[in-house]
Structure formats: C-alpha cells, structure tokens
Structure 1
C-alpha cells in the first residue's frame, strides 16, 4: 500500500502546484483570447482544488497521510512551476503537457489500486483520466493540433 500512498501524494502535490500555476495564468494571460482563457483557467483551478481535496480524503480513507504543506508539495511535485512572463499559447501548451503527465501517473495509480483490490481508488483515477482526456483534446484544439 505504501506505493499507492506515495503515488496519491504525488498527485496531491502535482494538483496543488497546478492550482497555483493556473491561478498565475488566470491573472497574467494577455492577448486576443484573454476573456476565453481567463475564464477557462478559473474553471481549471477550481477543478484542481476539488481534485486535491478528493485525493487527500481518499488517501485518508485508505490509511495514508496526505501531504499538506507547500514544502511537501514542492518536494513531491513532478510538474514544473511557472515563472516569468508566459505567452497565452505557451500557457496552453504547458497545461496540455501537464495534463498528459498527470494522466500517465493516474494510469499507474489505477493499476496499483487494482493490485491492492481498491476499486474505489482505481475508479477515482480512471474518472480523472476521463476529465484529462477532454482537457487535453480542448487545449490541443486551441493550439491547432
């Protein structure tokens, strides 16, 4: 179970850092697509906050201890923070890459959970993967890919 606990803590850290990145993008986006992206980033950071809470509660329910400090998040995170000025298109490309990375990790979590006969955690991971598929598709469509 320790592997599953660790994997869920990485998710908590990643989604926490992503939450902050999305806030940054929401505040600093500029250009002709400002209104659409400003609103989209807000929806995504609200979703990220919900994912952090759900993952932490799931981890507690199965006997683990969720990471709960910025120091822990930064030490566990496998996503990159955003700093400096970033163009809107680069924001979208970064988020697409982040969501692809998260999806890969969630695939592993689903497999680990099934190995431990924890269908609820597997379902949690699979449900997130479905959301991420939609986000990746939409972000890539914005980029013309």
Structure 2
C-alpha cells in the first residue's frame, strides 16, 4: 500500500504545483488572447484545487497521510514550478506538457490501484485522464498543433 500512498501523494504535490503555476499564468498573461486565457487559467486552477482535495481525501480514506505543505509539495512533485514563462504561447505549451506528464503518472496510478484491488482510486485516476485528454487536445489546438 505504501507505493499507492506515495503515488497519490505525487498527484497531490503535482496538482498543487500546477495550481500555483496556473495562478501565476492567470495573473501575468498578456496579449491579444488575455481575456480568453485569463478566464481559462482560472477555470483550470479551480479544477486543480478540486483534484488536490479529492486526492487527499481519497488518500485519507484508504489510510494514508497526504502531503500538506509547500515544502512537501516541492519535495514530492515531479512537475516543475513555473520557469518564468512570460509569453502566452509558452504558458500554454508548458501546460500541455504538464498535462501529458500528469496523464502518464495517472496511468501508473490506475494500474497500481488495480493491483491493490482499489477500484475507487483507479476510477479517480481514469476520470482525470479523460479530463486531461480534453485539456491536452484544446491546448494543442490553441498552439496550432
């Protein structure tokens, strides 16, 4: 179970880092797509906050202890904090890459959960993968890819 706990904590940490990154993008985006991206980044950071809460509550429900401080988030996270992206296109490209990374980890989490006969955690991971597929598609479409 420790591997499952750890995998959920990585999700909590990653989505917490993403939440902060999205807030930064929301505050600092500029250019002709400001209104569109400002609103989208807010939608995405609200979603990230919900994911953190759901993952932490799931971890508590199965007997684990969620990471719950910035120090722990940064230690456990596999996503990088923002790299000082200042152009809207760079922000979107970074988010698309982050979401791809999160999806890869969710695939592993779902398999690990199934190995532990934890269908609820597996369903949680699979549900997030579906959302991420949509986000990746839309972000890449914005980039013209």
Please tell me the TM-score bracket, short chain as reference.
Answer: over 0.9
Residue 43 (1) aligns with residue 32 (2) = no
Confirm or deny: 8 A CA contact 2:4 2:112 kept in the other structure.
yes
Tell me the secondary structure at the aligned position of residue 31 of structure 2. coil
Q: Give 4+ residue runs of structure 1 displaced > 3 Å after superposition.
A: none
Q: Which runs of 5+ in 2 are unaligned?
A: none
Range that drifts further, 56-65 or 78-87: 78-87
What's 2:13 paired with? Answer: 13
Deviation at 1:84, TM superposition (A): 2.9
Quick one: distance in 2 between partners of 1:63 and 1:121? Answer: 13
Q: 2: CA distance between counterparts of 1:74 and 1:116?
A: 27
The structural deviation recorded for 1:93 is 0.2
Deviation sequence 1:25-53 (CA, Å, 0-9, x none): 00000000000000000000000000000
> Structure 1 residue 64 and structure 2 residue 57: aligned?
no
- Superposed, 1:81-92 pairs within 5 Å as 81-92=81-92
Q: For this pair of structures, how many residues does the alignment match?
A: 145
TM-score for the superposition, normalised by structure 1: 0.99
Q: Deviation of residue 82 (structure 1)?
A: 1.1
- Name 2:131's counterpart in structure 1: 131
TM-score scaled by length of structure 2:
0.99
The answer to whether 1:22 aligns with 2:28 is no
Separation in 2, partners of 1:66, 1:51: 13
Gap regions ≥5 residues in structure 1: none
Q: 2:20 & 2:2 partners in 1: Cα distance? A: 27
Q: Distance in 1 between matches of 2:51 and 2:86?
A: 25
Where 1:30 maps in the other structure, the secondary structure is: coil
Measured in 2, the distance between the counterparts of 1:2 and 1:85 equals: 36
